[in-house]
Structure 1
Amino acid sequence: MRPPYPDWQQRSSDYRNLFNPAFLMLLIYCVCEAYETECIRRGKLDTVGIPYALIFLALPMALSKSFNDERPKRVAGTLVNWLRTHPVINIDLSASAYSFVPAVREGIVFALQAGYVEVDEKGLFAVKDKAINLELAKKIELSRHIENANFSGRWLAKSGSAATILEAFGLRP
């Protein structure tokens, strides 16, 4: 059973700030853009968009302090291999992915309604308009989260199928 959507007025100010749908939309946009870029760079033009299920993993990765303190500086190895040497982070991200579901869903809906991402006929999410100006966001505190979202998108793109990645975390779509 997934956690319920709390009414906006009943959410704490910390929750409203961290899981603001507009903020999550920005991270989703960054994840989708980085995933697409990595797929194109690797010549995987038939699967350019990110699978729906991986968005629910990418955002906890982008927001997790423990993951981002321990992650490699470059996307050299696969995420699945890295997880074997970092089991505590694996457990932390698995639990976060589950608890973030309502907030990530709201962020996805917001991003789709705002027209920044779209879903193709295969059900993959891709950037719709590449004209978002992230310069202001990069200059303020959001830059760390944006960098983490970009890293997560690139790493997920090169780490295998969605099913393999989710299985490594002990998750199911």
Structure 2
Amino acid sequence: MAVIDFLSREERNLFNPAFAGLLVTRAVQGHEQDNSPGCHLLLAVLAPVMAFTAPVRAVLPKNVSSTTVNWIERESAARVHLRQAAPVLGPLVREGLLLSLRAGVLVLDEQHLVRSTGRVPKRISGDTLEVTQIQRASLFLGRWLSRAGDLPTIFTLLGVRP
């Protein structure tokens, strides 16, 4: 039974592979704003999981120069929420990633994702404020986590497994 089967109708409308794929693409887009093309696959999955998790999204830093260590010390409850949400949201985000790869929105080069040009508009929009906020959070997380250090350290600090 898929993870999506356990969600309510409202949650299924938000937590679907197409939207998850868009969030992966937004994370890659954010990563590319500050780095060369090629967002690590694990970072591109972690960012949408964090963006989907409302208690985490609500306390994200306002600036990409904020350090991950200081944020985790300040927002220890976010770590708990993320650890609870990751096992449920991780498979959904991976489904979205596969959908984006099959649709040609993203291209996988070894362990790095690159956006195809012109497939997703740069302007973030959505039918609801929450949809827009989640996309902005994923874009931000793509930028912020790319500055946070090596991936094993990031996952360890956040208390989640790849």
Corresponding residue to 1:72 among 57, 61, 70: 61
The percentage of aligned residue pairs carrying the same residue is: 30
Pairs within 5 Å for 1:12-161: 12-40=8-36, 48-121=37-110, 123-135=111-123, 138=125, 140-141=127-128, 142-161=131-150
Which string of whole-angstrom CA distances, capped at 9 and with x for unpartnered residues, describes residues 52-92 of structure 1? 22233211221222222222211122223311221111111
**Conservation of the 8 A alpha-carbon contact between 2:104 and 2:116:** yes
Q: Alignment partner for residue 164 of structure 1, among 147, 153, 156?
A: 153
Measure the CA separation in 1 of the matches of 2:158 and 2:122.
30
Partner SS for 1:77: coil
The structure with the largest alpha-carbon Rg is 1
State the shift of 1:131 in Å.
4.0
> Aligned partners of 1:111, 1:14: CA distance in 2, in Å?
23
Structure 2: gaps spanning 5 or more residues: none
- Judge conservation of contact 2:4–2:16 (CA < 8 Å) in 1: no
Question: Do 1:39 and 1:158's aligned partners in 2 also have CA atoms closer than 8 Å?
Answer: no
| Amino acid in the other structure paired with 1:82 | W
TM-score (norm 2): 0.86
Which whole-Å CA distance do the structure 1 matches of 2:69 and 2:45 have between them? 16
In 2, Cα distance between equivalents of 1:82 and 1:103: 26
Change over 3 Å in CA distance of 1:130–1:6 after alignment to 2: same
Q: CA deviation at 1:125?
A: 1.4
| 1:110–1:138 distance in 2 versus 1, CA, 3 Å | same
Instruction: Give unpaired runs (5+ residues) of structure 1.
Output: 41-47
Q: Scaled by the length of structure 1, what TM-score is found? A: 0.81
Secondary structure, aligned partner of 1:133: coil
Root mean square deviation of aligned Cα: 2.1
Equivalent pairs, count:
160
